[in-house]
């Protein structure tokens, strides 16, 4: 009973305690899936378990699937620029849903959010799809739940290597390989860029420097129409901490048809546009201590690079107020206790 009271007190006070100890701690989780173990996994299948991809955003137009998106923070979503041909009109006409598993967002966990503003990359080219990315700011910060969580950003200067396998998710076309009324997932390895460029040259399509390819030479597994704007993530762990979290590496952008031989999916690289993201949304710099633009923060040594699922923020009120806060709290309580 007394221990319980102490734990609650430490949780409430942790920010002050750590500040006194010289740390500006406001720990926040990203890339975690609180609901992951609540449902059985479909082994070898393509339909995801509810709650497995809690950063997935569903964008509908007149109730129909338009694109995917990704929750990166309590007030920010990223998506593909080609999904929002007229960004101002898009935020009026389209609906944006978080926490959805069904493609019509009819789940009880789904929440519709309003968009306050949109910034698309200034170098976006609607012909080549170079810099195919927009940043959407929500009107109100979202409350995280088991089904709504932000994904992690990669550490600045890191990229994925050929052969590393990532997971792409979306409600897009399945070409008859399965239902798309529930969120689907597929694992795709990074393809050598020279090889990918060579394959696409046959179609007279060039791969912009902002993009990379992922998929299979023989085809068969790929993202497809309607998946655009959605996430391509990798579970990344650090050797020292044994912790792992999902990191956003790409945004589904384009491909030549879908799942064709020697035509892998082409993804917008998040690492490539991280400087623009941080410049456009300085709030995101605060929660990502590895961002190079955040010199003060990275110099402070607060961030523990051995914990890839940790992000820290110096904004005193930036702690999510729901479950993720509890998880962070639990972690810090354990740390304090041990």
Q: Which residue is nearest to ligand ARG (CB)?
A: 255
Residue 133 lies near ligand ARG (rule: CB under 6 A) = no
| Alpha carbons 197 and 294: distance in angstroms, whole number | 34
If one asks whether residue 262 binds ligand ARG (CB under 6 A), the answer comes out as: no
Binding test (CB under 6 A) with ligand ARG, winner from 150, 255, 289, 320: 255
Binding positions for ligand ARG, 212-231, rule CB under 6 A: 222-228
Through-space distance between the first and last CA atoms of the chain, rounded to whole angstroms: 18
State which residue, 255 or 289, has the beta carbon closest to ligand ARG.
255
What number of other Cβ atoms are within 10 A of residue 142's Cβ? 21
Q: Which of 67, 64, 40, 43 is nearest to 51 (CA)?
A: 40
99 lines the binding site for ligand ARG (CB under 6 A): no
Judged by CB under 6 A, the stretch of 52-60, 70-78, 251-259, 289-297 that binds ligand ARG is: 251-259
Contact between 69 and ligand ARG by CB under 6 A: the answer reads no
Q: Give the number of other Cβ atoms within 10 Å of residue 311's Cβ.
A: 26
Minimum CB–partner distance for residue 214 and ligand ARG (Å): 9
The answer to whether 94 contacts ligand ARG (rule: CB under 6 A) is no
Task: Give the residues across from 61 on adjacent strands.
Answer: 64, 94
Which one, 255 or 320, has the nearer CB to ligand ARG?
255
**Binding pattern to ligand ARG, positions 170-199, x when CB under 6 A?**
--x---------------------------
Q: Is 80 or 135 the residue whose CB approaches ligand ARG more closely? A: 80
By CB under 6 A, the count of residues binding ligand ARG is 13
**CA trace torsion 89, 93, 96, 100 (10° rounding):** -150
In angstroms, what is the minimal distance from the CB of 105 to ligand ARG? 17
Segment near ligand ARG (CB under 6 A); pick from 46-54, 110-118, 142-150, 248-256: 248-256
Q: What single string gives the DSSP state of each residue in 233-268?
A: EEEEE-TTT--EEEEEEEEEEE-SSSS-TT--EEEE
Which stretch in 33-41, 118-126, 247-255, 299-307 sits in contact with ligand ARG by CB under 6 A? 247-255
Map residues 263-282 to x or -, x wherever contact with ligand ARG holds by CB under 6 A. --x-----------------
Question: What are the beta bridge partners of residue 71?
Answer: 77
Q: Please say which residue, 35 or 214, places its beta carbon nearer to ligand ARG.
A: 214
Residues belonging to the chain:
338
Strand spans (E) along the chain: 27-29, 56-61, 64-73, 76-79, 94-98, 111-113, 115-120, 134-138, 165-170, 184-191, 211-214, 231-237, 244-254, 265-269, 310-312
> Phi and psi (nearest 5°) for 212?
-140, 165
What is the 8-class DSSP label of residue 219? -
Nearer to ligand ARG among residue 189 and residue 255 (C-beta): 255
Buried-state track 67-85, b at ≥16 Cβ within 10 A, e below 16: bbbbbbbbbbbbbbbbbbe
Smallest separation, CB 259 to ligand ARG (Å)? 7
SS3 content of the chain, % helix, strand, coil (to 5): 25, 25, 50
Active site residues: 82, 132, 228
Smallest separation (angstroms) from ligand ARG to the CB of 192: 17
**Which of 53, 94, 254, 272 is the binder for ligand ARG (CB under 6 A)?**
254
- 252 is an interface residue for ligand ARG by CB under 6 A: yes
- Give the binding site for ligand ARG (CB under 6 A): 172, 222-228, 252, 254-255, 258, 265
């Amino acid at each position: 009973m007394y221990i319980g009271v102490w734990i609650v007190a430490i949780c409430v006070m942790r920010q002050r305690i750590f500040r006194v100890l010289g740390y500006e701690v406001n720990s926040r989780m990203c890339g975690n899936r609180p609901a992951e173990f609540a449902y059985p996994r479909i082994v070898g299948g393509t339909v995801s378990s509810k709650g497995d991809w809690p950063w997935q955003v569903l964008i509908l137009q007149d109730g129909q699937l338009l694109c995917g998106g990704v929750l990166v923070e309590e007030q920010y979503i990223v998506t593909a620029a080609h999904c929002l041909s007229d960004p101002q009109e898009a935020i009026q006409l389209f609906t944006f849903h978080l926490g959805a598993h069904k493609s019509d967002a009819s789940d009880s966990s789904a929440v519709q959010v309003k968009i306050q503003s949109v910034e698309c990359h200034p170098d976006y080219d609607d012909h080549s799809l170079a810099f195919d990315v927009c940043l959407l700011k929500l009107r109100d910060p979202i409350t995280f739940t088991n089904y709504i969580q932000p994904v992690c950003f990669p550490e600045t200067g890191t990229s994925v290597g050929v052969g590393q396998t990532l997971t792409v998710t979306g409600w897009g076309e399945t070409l008859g390989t399965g239902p798309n009324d529930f969120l689907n997932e597929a694992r795709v390895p990074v393809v050598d860029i020279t090889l990918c460029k060579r394959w696409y040259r046959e179609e007279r399509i060039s791969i912009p420097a902002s993009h990379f390819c992922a998929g299979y030479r023989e085809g068969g597994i790929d993202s497809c129409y309607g998946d655009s704007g959605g996430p391509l993530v990798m579970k990344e762990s650090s050797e020292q901490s044994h912790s792992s979290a999902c990191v956003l590496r790409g945004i589904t952008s384009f491909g030549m048809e879908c799942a064709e031989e020697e035509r892998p999916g082409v993804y917008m690289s998040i690492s490539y546009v991280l400087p623009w993201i941080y410049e456009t949304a300085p709030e995101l710099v605060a929660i990502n201590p590895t961002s190079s633009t955040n010199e003060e923060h990275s110099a402070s040594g607060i961030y523990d690079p051995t914990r890839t699922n940790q992000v820290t923020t110096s904004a005193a009120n930036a702690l999510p107020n729901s479950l993720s806060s509890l998880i962070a709290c639990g972690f810090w309580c354990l740390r304090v206790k041990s």
